[in-house]
């Protein structure tokens, strides 16, 4: 049975929702302070990459990006995403590989030489523990298997933040932020600023309209994908069966989201709730 996609009411959006998360991280002071807390380094300034295209579109056109993509004053590039559910198998971890390839492709397309590739930090914020070790933060670099003190200096770092952590392994501000992801508001300055900004945004009718436009487009794209799949299934005839027709329809829905809403293939599959075991099949259909 087809699963219905329902639009979450504007008033119910929280920091966990992609749309609201992107708006909040679009406030430079908040994004910069959060990055400084996570990395425990001083960052003088950040610049939003593709800001004019993505934020200026206000989610109404092809410029939409559901992740946060910034560069700091030391030319380190950051990709930050709110990941609200644990994907099947190793999909969550392999997604960092996909993000890394996309960032590197963007940098190389901009004229960078391999030797000049920026240092990159991919950050996933999770309201669950992806490794079940109780840590608030898991930082990964490429190390030599035979000699753990030997690090491959490729400049690539992946960080998973766990809002369910129990260890004392992050500073007070990051801990307060992760508690806020879980719905707990405290007197921490960063959390108070984020909470006040969300309240302010929700009062803006323009943002409400932009959100509804985005959500309705996404819902219509999904419906159209299913409708087209059903039409294609009929066209293929009984010999190929309904299952193949539905698969073609789902692939069309993914492709449509990628082309019309500028989603990555992974993001489209997440929205359509495609199981990890079936993603390779749909990826082949989309590319074919």
Q: pLDDT tens, 90-126?
A: 888 988 998 898 888 888 887 778 888 899 999 999 9
**Do the Cβ atoms of 64 and 19 come closer than 8 Å?**
no
Backbone angles phi, psi at 161, to 5 degrees: -100, 135
Residues 184 and 74 in one domain: yes
pTM of the model: 0.79
Instruction: Please say which residue of 202, 226, 255 terminates a domain.
Output: 202
Lookup: tokens for 39: 């990395």
Residue 4 lies in a domain: no
Residues 183 and 212 in one domain: no
Instruction: Please say which residue of 202, 233, 265 terminates a domain.
Output: 202
Q: If you average pLDDT over residues 141-168, what whole number do you get?
A: 96
Residues 242 and 165 in one domain: no
Give CA–CA dist 279/214, Å, rounded. Answer: 25
Q: How many C-beta neighbours within 10 Å does residue 237 have?
A: 9
Residues 173 and 140 in one domain: yes
Instruction: Identify the pLDDT of residue 4.
Output: 54
State the DSSP code for 82. Answer: E
Residues 138 and 99 in one domain: yes
Q: If you average pLDDT over residues 63-67, what whole number do you get?
A: 48
Instruction: Identify the pLDDT of residue 242.
Output: 58
Q: How many C-beta neighbours within 10 Å does residue 62 have?
A: 11
Contacts 24+ apart (CB under 8 A), 113-117: 117/155
Q: If you average pLDDT over residues 130-149, what whole number do you get?
A: 96
Q: If you average pLDDT over residues 227-247, what whole number do you get?
A: 58
Residue 167 lies in a domain: yes
Q: Is 129 a residue whose pLDDT tops 80? A: yes
- Average pLDDT across the chain, whole number: 84
Q: If you average pLDDT over residues 231-247, what whole number do you get?
A: 58
Residues 67 and 173 in one domain: yes
Residue 126 lies in a domain: yes
The residue segments making up the domain with residue 117 are 10-202
Share of the chain above pLDDT 70, in %: 83
Share of the chain above pLDDT 90, in %: 53
Q: Is 55 a residue whose pLDDT tops 50? A: no
Residue 2 lies in a domain: no
Q: Is 194 a residue whose pLDDT tops 90? A: yes
From 264, 228, 268, select the one nearest 247 (Cα to Cα).
228
Rounded to the nearest angstrom, the gap between the alpha carbon of residue 96 and the centroid of all alpha carbons in its chain is 10
Residues 81 and 163 in one domain: yes
Residues 136 and 227 in one domain: no
Residue 3 lies in a domain: no
Instruction: Please say which residue of 202, 226, 254 terminates a domain.
Output: 202
Residues 94 and 143 in one domain: yes
Give CA–CA dist 189/252, Å, rounded. Answer: 45
Total structural domains within the chain: 2
Q: Is 15 a residue whose pLDDT tops 70? A: yes
**Do the Cβ atoms of 106 and 140 come closer than 8 Å?**
no
Residues 144 and 22 in one domain: yes
Residue 129 lies in a domain: yes
Q: Is 251 a residue whose pLDDT tops 70? A: yes
């Amino acid at each position: 049975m087809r699963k219905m996609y329902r639009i979450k009411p504007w008033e119910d959006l929280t920091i966990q929702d992609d749309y609201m998360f992107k708006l909040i991280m679009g406030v430079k002071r908040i994004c910069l302070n959060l990055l400084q807390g996570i990395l425990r380094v001083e960052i003088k300034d950040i610049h939003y990459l593709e800001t004019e295209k993505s934020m200026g579109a206000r989610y109404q056109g092809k410029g939409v990006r559901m992740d946060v993509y910034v560069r700091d004053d030391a030319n380190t590039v950051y990709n930050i995403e709110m990941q609200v559910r644990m994907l099947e198998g190793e999909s969550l971890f392999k997604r960092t590989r996909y993000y890394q390839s996309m960032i590197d492709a963007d940098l190389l397309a901009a004229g960078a030489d391999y030797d000049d590739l920026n240092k990159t930090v991919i950050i996933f914020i999770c309201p669950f523990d992806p490794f079940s070790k109780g840590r608030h933060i898991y930082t990964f670099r490429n190390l030599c298997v035979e000699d753990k003190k030997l690090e491959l200096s490729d400049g690539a770092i992946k960080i998973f933040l766990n809002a369910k952590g129990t260890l004392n392994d992050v500073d007070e501000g990051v801990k307060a932020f992760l508690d806020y992801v879980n719905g707990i508001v405290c007197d921490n300055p960063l959390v108070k600023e984020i909470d006040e900004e969300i309240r302010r945004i929700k009062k803006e009718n323009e943002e409400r309209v932009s959100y509804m436009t985005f959500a309705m487009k996404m819902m219509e794209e999904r419906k159209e994908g299913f409708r087209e799949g059903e039409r294609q299934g009929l066209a293929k005839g009984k010999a190929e069966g309904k299952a193949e027709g539905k698969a073609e329809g789902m692939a069309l829905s993914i492709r449509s989201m990628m082309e019309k809403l500028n989603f990555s293939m992974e993001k489209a599959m997440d929205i359509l709730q495609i199981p990890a075991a079936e993603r390779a099949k749909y990826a082949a259909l989309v590319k074919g």
